[in-house]
Every structure is written in structure tokens, then in C-alpha cells.
């Protein structure tokens, strides 16, 4: 799939590198290489993911590949090591026992430093897409975008995007870029989380901005394997609709849920992570899966009619040795990155 304004192309499924369980480098590299081999050749990452280690693992997984074989989408604007600027997103206890805070920080000097650090960790000269991870209300968007434009002119990045921005913030970011198009916005979207349908998706369709949907499987709820973590009404829809459809198409429930997201008007691609090669293969089945319009409409209607609360999952192993505290923070943020 591509964004017409920028020419940026990506498979309809992007591999998300935020690990859901503690893994050593060798195991994680195996999963990443499996994803690439099976067509998930765009990887979404961020410095925040395991505090830089996710980017280092990507470098290990791709070091023997030509640069054009894989696209790297990363994010900047969340710092755990830059003093007291910006609102706190969450706090955690470091491995040495110190309390630390992750803050929104989109100041130009911070953005430039983060890009340089990501390039070093990923062992690249240019990043395909750099997105602002979270809005920073204390830094004018124009200043942030100006820094990204400078990095683009210097050949450090190819495309500019945002993440977790509201429709109004997206408009401001696009305006700040002038003649350079805003390539994408990354927001949460799934069968059970559809807030972006009201304003954001129509806006992006009208302005030709790509939409990268994160948490398309609702943190595992739509895989059919998280019965203890979801509501009964949701489980009934999964049992009576999602799983039979998966069996009918010879794929996993995850593939059906991913295909639904990818076929929604305005969605460019879905970002899906995996902890095992088996999960990667299940998600890769969605690359070429096309659901009939009647099937799409039935899924849309039946999930919408169920009185579903967003399931609260404490993701395990995202930040080693800080699982409980970070899990609490992420639950409060409804699993925003």
C-alpha cells in the first residue's frame, strides 16, 4: 500500500518491534528475520522500546540485507534521559533502583539528538519515516517540524509523520511542513477501538495522509487466545463470528482482524507485533487476505453492537524488571505506546 502524496510504500501489515515478552537478542532476531522473510518488510520501532534495545536488535536482524530490502519507521519525542522538560507519560523504576520518568519532549535539539542516536543504533544513514511519538504541548509544532525538515534536507530522514495526534494537531503539523507532505499518522484502531472513524480517518482520506493503525489486535484480545482477559460479550462475538470466519478462510482469527483493519477506507497499513515465529506466520496470512464486503459489514456491525469495554491488559516484559509499574501506566493510557 502507498501514500499518494509522498510515494511512500509499505506492505499492508507492518511488523511492530515492541516486544510483548522478555526475549534475548537471539530469539528476537529470529522473530524479526522470520517477519522479513515472510513479507513483513517494513518495521515499526522507537527508541523507547526496551530503551534502545529494539533498534539494536533490528540492526542485528538486518545487517546482512541490502538497505532497500527493509524499511524502518521509527518515532521520536519520548525521552527518559533528558531532565524535567515535558509532561510525564509514565514513571518507572530503573534497573539500578532509581525512579525515572518518560516525558514528552519534541524540542528541536532533542529531536535531532534522537534521530542521530537511532541512526547509530540501527546502523543506518537514513531513516525511511520518523514520527513524533506523542504530542508535546510545551513545544510549538512548527519548531518540531522545522527540525524534521532540516533533517530531511540533510538526508537523515526521508519522510515525516506523527503518532497519537488529534485531527486538529494533524492539521497543524501538516501546515507547519509547508510544501512537504505529512506522510502518515499512527493511531490506535481495531474492531473494538474505532474512535478514529469519526474525524481522523475522514480527514486523512481528504488530505491524502497515510494512516498506520497500531494495536489492531487489541493487545491480543482478537487473536482468540486471551479468554481470561476479555469481556464475555466480546468472547461471544469472537467465538460465534471471528473464529468461524477464520476456519472458513483457513487462517487465524488474528489474520481476519488484521484484514478487517486493512480494508477500512483510509487505512494504509496495520502494525502488528509478535513474540514467536508462529505468531508472525499467522499475521503474514493477512498480507493477501481480502474479505468480502458482506463479511466486512457483518464484522463491523456485530462488534459494534456488543457492549464492549476496552480490555485492560498489562503487557508483560515490555520493559524488563519494570513490568508491574509500566503495566499500570499503560493500562491507564489504554495501551497507548
Residues 227-276 pLDDT 10s: 445 777 888 888 889 999 999 999 999 999 999 999 999 999 999 999 99
**Which residues, at least 6 apart from 151, have a Cβ–Cβ distance to it below 8 Å?**
111, 112, 115, 130, 157
Q: Looking up cell 478487517, which residue turns up?
A: 260
4 occurs within a structural domain: no
3 occurs within a structural domain: no
Determine what percent of the chain is predicted with pLDDT higher than 90: 66
Residues 172 and 141: their CA atoms lie apart, in Å, by 7
**Pair 270, 232: CB distance under 8 Å:** no
Domain that holds residue 299: 13-332
337 occurs within a structural domain: no
**Which residues, at least 6 apart from 115, have a Cβ–Cβ distance to it below 8 Å?**
76, 127, 130, 151, 156, 157
Q: Please report the pLDDT score of residue 294 as a whole number.
A: 95
51 occurs within a structural domain: yes
Residue 322 has pLDDT above 80, yes or no: no
Residues 115 and 6: their CA atoms lie apart, in Å, by 20
Residue 23 has pLDDT above 80, yes or no: no
Determine if residue 190 is left, alpha or beta; phi over 0 gives left, psi from -120 to 50 gives alpha, anything else beta: beta
Determine what percent of the chain is predicted with pLDDT higher than 70: 86
Q: Please report the pLDDT score of residue 22 as a whole number.
A: 59
Pick from 128-137, 155-164, 224-233, 315-324: least confident? 315-324
Q: Looking up cell 499518494, which residue turns up?
A: 4
- Dump pLDDT digits (tens) for 291-316: 999 999 999 998 887 644 544 433 33
310 occurs within a structural domain: yes
Q: Please report the pLDDT score of residue 220 as a whole number.
A: 82
82 occurs within a structural domain: yes
Compute the average pLDDT of residues 215-231. 73
Q: What is the CATH number of the domain that holds 167?
A: 3.20.20.100
Q: Please report the pLDDT score of residue 331 as a whole number.
A: 45
Q: Please report the pLDDT score of residue 125 as a whole number.
A: 95
- pLDDT category of residue 224 using cuts at 50, 70 and 90: low
Core vs surface per residue 119-147: b (16+ CB within 10 A) or e = bebbebeebbbbbbbbbbeebebeebbbb
- pLDDT category of residue 226 using cuts at 50, 70 and 90: low
Give whole-number Cα distances, 325 to 92, 105, 330, in Å: 6, 21, 9
Residue 185 has pLDDT above 50, yes or no: yes
Q: Please report the pLDDT score of residue 21 as a whole number.
A: 61
Q: Please report the pLDDT score of residue 271 as a whole number.
A: 97
Mean pLDDT of all residues in the chain? 86
What is the model's pTM? 0.87
- pLDDT category of residue 319 using cuts at 50, 70 and 90: very low
247 occurs within a structural domain: yes
Q: Total domain count for the chain?
A: 1
Amino acid at each position: 500500500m502507498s501514500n499518494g502524496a509522498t510515494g511512500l510504500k509499505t506492505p499492508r501489515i507492518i511488523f511492530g518491534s515492541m516486544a510483548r515478552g522478555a526475549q534475548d537478542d537471539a530469539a528476537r532476531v529470529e522473530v524479526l528475520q522470520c517477519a522479513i522473510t515472510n513479507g513483513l518488510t517494513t518495521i515499526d520501532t522507537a527508541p523507547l522500546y526496551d530503551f534502545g534495545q529494539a533498534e539494536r536488535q533490528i540492526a542485528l536482524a538486518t545487517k546482512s540485507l541490502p538497505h532497500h530490502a527493509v524499511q524502518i519507521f521509527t518515532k521520536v519525542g519520548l525521552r527518559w534521559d533528558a531532565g524535567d522538560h515535558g509532561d510525564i507519560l509514565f514513571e518507572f523504576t530503573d534497573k539500578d533502583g532509581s525512579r525515572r520518568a518518560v516525558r514528552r519532549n519534541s524540542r528541536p535539539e532533542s529531536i535531532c539528538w534522537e534521530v542521530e542516536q537511532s541512526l547509530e543504533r540501527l546502523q543506518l544513514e537514513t531513516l525511511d519515516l520518523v514520527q513524533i511519538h506523542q504530542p508535546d504541548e510545551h513545544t510549538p509544532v512548527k519548531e518540531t517540524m522545522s527540525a524534521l525538515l532540516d533533517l530531511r534536507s540533510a538526508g537523515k530522514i526521508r519522510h515525516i509523520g506523527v503518532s497519537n495526534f488529534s485531527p486538529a494537531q494533524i492539521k497543524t503539523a501538516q501546515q507547519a511542513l509547508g510544501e512537504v507532505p505529512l506522510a502518515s499518522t499512527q493511531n490506535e484502531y481495531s474492531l473494538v477501538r474505532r474512535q478514529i472513524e469519526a474525524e481522523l480517518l475522514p480527514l486523512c482520506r481528504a488530505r491524502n495522509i497515510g494512516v498506520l493503525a497500531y494495536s489492531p489486535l487489541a493487545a491480543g484480545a482478537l487473536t482468540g487466545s486471551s479468554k481470561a482477559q476479555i469481556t464475555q460479550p466480546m468472547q461471544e462475538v469472537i467465538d460465534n463470528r471471528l473464529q468461524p470466519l477464520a476456519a472458513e478462510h483457513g487462517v487465524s482469527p488474528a489474520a481476519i482482524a488484521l484484514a478487517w483493519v486493512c480494508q477500512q477506507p483510509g487505512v494504509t497499513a496495520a502494525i502488528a507485533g509478535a513474540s514467536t515465529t508462529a505468531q508472525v506466520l499467522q499475521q503474514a496470512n493477512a498480507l493477501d487476505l481480502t474479505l468480502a464486503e458482506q463479511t466486512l459489514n457483518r464484522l463491523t456491525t456485530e462488534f459494534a453492537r456488543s457492549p464492549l469495554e476496552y480490555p485492560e491488559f498489562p503487557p508483560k516484559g515490555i520493559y524488563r524488571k519494570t513490568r508491574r509499574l509500566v503495566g499500570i501506566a499503560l493500562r491507564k493510557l489504554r495501551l497507548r505506546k
